[in-house]
Amino acid sequence: MSDLSKGKILVTGGAGFIGSALVWAMNSRGIDNILVADRLATDEKWRNLSPLRFDDYVSADDLLDAVRSEALALNDIRWVFHLGACASTTERDLGFLMNNNYGYTRQLCEWSVRRAVRFVYASSAATYGDGSQGMDENESGINRLRPLNAYGFSKQLFDLHAKRRGYLGQVVGLKYFNVFGPNEAHKGEMRSLVSKAFDQLQETGRIELFKSYKPEFRDGEQKRDFLYVKDAVDMTIHLAIRQGTAGLFNLGSGQARTWIDLATAVFAALGKRPEIEFIEMPDVLRGKYQYFTQANIAKLMATGYKGPRYSLEAAVADYVQNYLVPGKNLEAL
C-alpha cells in the first residue's frame, strides 16, 4: 500500500485548489497514472489542470454514475483521493451540500471499501465549530462536535457515518485547517486572505481585516492555524502511503497565528510598511465565525511525519513572490 505508481489514482476535485496541488506533488514524484474528476463550468478552474500530467479526465457526475453501476472502466483504480466538495462556508442550500458533500462521499467510500481500494478523503476543521469541544481528532468524541455552518455540518455527517460503519479503521479522513497557496484564484470570495490581500494592496495600499466582536480578542487578533498548500499535500501523500494508517487526522501547522501576523507577512513579502484597516464583519458571518483554531497534530507526527517545511512567513513569501506577483501557477514549481 506504499507505492503510488502501482494502479491508477483517482483524484476528485482534481482541478480545484488542493486537488490540483496534490496532482502537481505526485507529478513532482514522477507519478502521472492519475484519473482526474471534477466539475468544470464557466470559471477559470481549468487553468489549474493545464500544466499537470494525468492519464484521463472524467466529470464528477459521470464518475458517480460509473461507481453506482460498478463500471469495469474503474477496475484498475487502487487509490482514491476524494477532495471534491462544495467548500463554501457561506453556502446555505443544505440539500445541495447533503448530496454533494455527504452523499457523494458515502457512495465513493463504500465502493472503495468493497474493493479494498485505499480511500483518503477531505473532512474539515470546520467540523470543530467554536472549538469548545477541543480540536483533537479523537474519534470517540466526534459526535459531540457542533459545526457553526452548513458546510461543516455536511462534513461532520460523513465522519459520523464512517465511524458508525467502522470505516475509520480502514480509510483516512483529513481535517484540513486554513490552507492557502497557489491555484486558489478560482475560489473567489472563498480564497485565502493572502490572495485577497495581495489584490487589496495593489488597489489601495492597505489590507482590510474584520473587527472582533468578542472582548477576549482584539481586532485582528483572532487566531487561525494557517497551512501552506505545499505542506498540506505532502501530509496528504504521507498518510496515504503509510501502511496501517487509518482514521481522522488534523492537517495544520500546529500553531495558531493572528490575522495581523498573516497580513504583516504579506506586507513584508512585498517590502511594504503595514497599513491595516479594520472593517465590520458581514452579519451572515458573525454568528458562524471561528475565533480560534489550532490543529493538534500529535497524531500526524506519531506516524513519522517530520513536520511542516514552511513557517507562516516563509510560506507567504513563497506564495506572494513566486506566484501572485508574476501571476504564475504550480507549473513554476
Q: pLDDT tens, 36-45?
A: 999 998 788 9
Tell me the mean pLDDT in the region 71-97: 87
Give yes or no for residue 333 having a pLDDT over 70.
no
The torsion angle over the Cα atoms of residues 115, 116, 122 and 124, rounded to 10 degrees, is: 110
For residue 173, what are the β-bridge partners?
Answer: 121, 248
Instruction: State the pLDDT at residue 229.
Output: 98
Per-residue pLDDT averaged across 173-192, rounded? 94
Q: What is the mean pLDDT of residues 202-213?
A: 95
pTM above 0.85, yes or no: yes
Identify the pLDDT of residue 132.
84
pLDDT, tens digit, for every residue of 248-273? 999 999 999 999 999 999 999 999 99
Contact partners, residue 189, CB within 8 Å, separation at least 6: 90
Q: Which residue has the higher pLDDT, 85 or 200?
A: 200
Report the alpha-carbon distance of residue 2 to residue 325 in Å, rounded.
Answer: 37
Calpha distance 53→29 (Å, rounded):
12
Helix/strand/coil percentages in the chain, nearest 5: 45, 15, 40
Give the three-state DSSP class for 269. helix
Query: What pLDDT does residue 286 have?
Result: 85
Question: Phi-psi region for residue 161, left (φ > 0), alpha (ψ -120 to 50) or beta?
Answer: alpha
pLDDT of residue 98: 84
End-to-end CA distance of the chain: 27
CB atoms near residue 278 (< 10 Å): 15
Q: CA-CA distance, 235 to 22, in Å (whole number)?
A: 10
Q: List residues with catalytic annotation.
A: 151, 187
Please list the alpha-helical segments (H only) found in the chain: 17-28, 60-68, 94-97, 104-114, 150-165, 193-204, 229-241, 259-269, 283-286, 298-301, 312-319
pLDDT(161) > 60: yes
8-181+226-253+294-308 adopts what CATH topology? Answer: Rossmann fold (3.40.50)
Per domain, the residue ranges of the chain are: 8-181+226-253+294-308
Given this model, what pLDDT does residue 329 score?
A: 57
Per-residue pLDDT band for 55 (boundaries 50, 70, 90) equals very high
**17, 16, 68, 14: which is closest to 37 by C-alpha?**
14
pLDDT at 1: 45
Helices H / strands E in the chain, number of each: 11, 13
Q: How high is the pLDDT of residue 131?
A: 85
Q: pLDDT grade, residue 327 (50/70/90)?
A: low
Q: Considering the chain, what is the average pLDDT of its residues?
A: 92
Average of per-residue pLDDT across 278-294: 89
Confidence class of residue 62 from pLDDT cuts 50, 70 and 90?
Answer: very high
Cell 485577497: give the residue. Answer: 196
Q: CA dihedral defined by 183, 261, 263, 153, rounded to 10 degrees?
A: 50
